[in-house]
A and B are shown apart, each in its own frame.
Chain A
Amino acid sequence: MIELKTPISEEIIRSLKVGDEVLVTGRMFTGRDAVHKYLHEGGQLPAGVDFKGGVLYHCGPVIIKDDQGQWKCVAAGPTTSIREEPYQWQVIRDFGLRGVIGKGGMGERTLAACKEYGCVYLHAIGGAAQVLAECIKRVPNVHFMEKFGAPEAIWEFETVQFPAVVTMDANGNSLHKEVFAASQAELAKYL
């Protein structure tokens, strides 16, 4: 297990390899379809939000307000990342992301951007909404709540040891491509 603390340096990111298991601690932002499309079309991040060195989580969390009026995350599994494939490369390039968390993996353009700008794709365990919510200790802020609605808003998370696996690294490797090719070759033996 490799501990990562946000903000993460380019050097550390480039040292990660596919198959590495990581635990992410620190500030993390959520962003899914609406946020990606908005940034792609030239939209600016809200004041006080800086993705530089940071990690973006493809997630539409379930968040409630507790008795003290604080946000509390009750379910926060990853959503399918491939929907952001048309936009992700640009968001990595323009906003200095070092990590993208989601599920299912992403395509060639994102893989190329990871290599060029120094970023990795981290695969969280799909469906593990409760375990992952437990790693989100605080929800200090939310942005674009009015504009995009709760699941699509940019939520700020304070995480402690959020588990994920590097499945696309900054050296052009993709575990998804490797496993697909290997399983295809294997299947041919049994047909």
Chain B
Amino acid sequence: MNRLFESLLELIRRTSTVIPDDVHRAILASLEQEKKGTIAANAMQIIDQNIALARNKSQPICQDTGSIIFYVEAPASLDQIAFEEQAREAVKTATKKGYLRQNSVDSITGKNDGTNLGPGSPTVHFHQHRSPEISVRLVLKGGGCENVGAQYSLPNEKLKANRDLDGCRKAILDAVLQAQGKGCGPGILGVCIGGDRATGYEHSKQQLLRSLDDQNPNPELATLEKDIVETANKLGIGPMGFGGKTTLLGTKIGVLNRLPASYFVSVSYMCWAYRRQGMVLDAEGAVQKWLY
């Protein structure tokens, strides 16, 4: 299991200190878009410098290293209990090494024991599949952007949002408007249409595992994803809410069945400091390849 520990530690280090390629490309493209010399362009410039510094110094991109969420896909033969133990050890060590901030607080006592371990931290989602491959993805989701996430129950009279895709569109764009730059925009939205209150948010976060330049297999959703980004970028909110052309870098929408009685639209907002990475492991737990 030692190999696995090393791999998990390296996964945490990379996730915290190196921005994934697809996100970096989107940031560079938006830097091009913003008019030179504007506050928006200068903000994007600082963001780009920050990405380079963090990578070169192997230090966290942002000091809020966020909620630690693992997604594991593995055959039935994987010992999930042993895996989770290694994940916890890796989190503890990564915190000691400064890849993660001491970031986990007891909700009742307010105590922070400095280990990042406790109920819900880290969170590990296991998913079994028939293939022998083991893949592990990690998302570090910051608090500032998590705070601007939103869940809508349709119909919503105030937004004139009905239970259809146009209603979903109105809800999602309202979330963008309310968030302004407060989630450290430009942001990326993970959205779930349907589900219950818990699974809706959960599925919206899982959308953040998708690569920014993938194509939604559902053509209607693919159109909606594109439309949300284009419309949001016409609103003039801009990086940090300073005004400007880049409000969103991407939107990913997934769907779950719902009950006849409910219709939720759940929106998770991810900041520009989009920390996600993943790896495929061999049977010994060594990294075979990186996923982003």
Contact = CB atoms under 8 A, between A and B. Distances in A.
Say whether chain B's binding surface is mostly helix, strand, loop, or mixed: loop
B237 A183 contact: yes
A136 interface: no
Contacts of A176: 180, 241
Interface stretch (B60-68, B122-130, B190-198): B60-68
A178 B181 CA distance: 13
Contacts of A165: 39, 43, 240, 242
Given A104-B181, A179-B241, A190 B60 contact: no
Contact of B47 (A62, A123, A125, A180): A125
B62 A123 contact: no
Interface string A93-124: 00000000001110000000000000000010
A30 to B, nearest CB: 12
Interface in A40-85: 60-62, 64, 74-77, 79-80
B36 interface: no
Interface string B222-266: 000000000100111110111100000000000000000000000
A62 B102 CA distance: 10
A184 interface: yes
A134 interface: yes
A186 interface: yes
A34 to B, nearest CB: 11
Contacts of A74: 59, 98
A80 B98 contact: no
Contacts of A60: 63
B177 A62 contact: no
Interface stretch (B6-14, B48-56, B79-87, B212-220): B48-56
B42 interface: yes
B57 interface: yes
Given A62-B101, A80-B182, A187 B240 contact: no
A129 B144 CA distance: 14
Interface residues of A, number: 40
B63 A75 contact: yes
Given A74-B98, A176-B180, A167 B231 contact: no
Interface string B29-47: 0000000000100110011
Contact of B53 (A130, A167, A180, A183): A130
B180 A130 contact: no
A39 interface: no
B182 A21 contact: no
Most buried by A among B53, B54, B63, B240: B63
A5 B270 CA distance: 35
B147 to A, nearest CB: 7
B228 to A, nearest CB: 11
Given A179-B236, A179-B241, A187-B173, A19 B273 contact: no
Interface string B263-280: 000000001110000000
Given A129-B50, A129-B61, A167-B242, A186 B42 contact: no
B234 A186 contact: yes
A128 interface: yes
A131 interface: yes
Nearest to A80: B144
A187 B177 contact: yes
B74 interface: no
B277 to A, nearest CB: 17
A128 B46 CA distance: 7
A19 B39 contact: yes
16 contacts: A19-B39, A74-B59, A75-B60, A80-B144, A103-B184, A123-B242, A127-B50, A130-B61, A165-B242, A175-B242, A176-B241, A179-B243, A183-B237, A184-B177, A186-B235, A187-B173
The 8 closest A-B pairs by CB, nearest first: A126-B184, A75-B63, A130-B53, A183-B235, A127-B62, A127-B273, A128-B50, A129-B63
Interface of A: 19, 21, 60-62, 64, 74-77, 79-80, 103-105, 123, 125-131, 134, 149, 163, 165, 167, 175-176, 178-180, 182-184, 186-187, 190-191
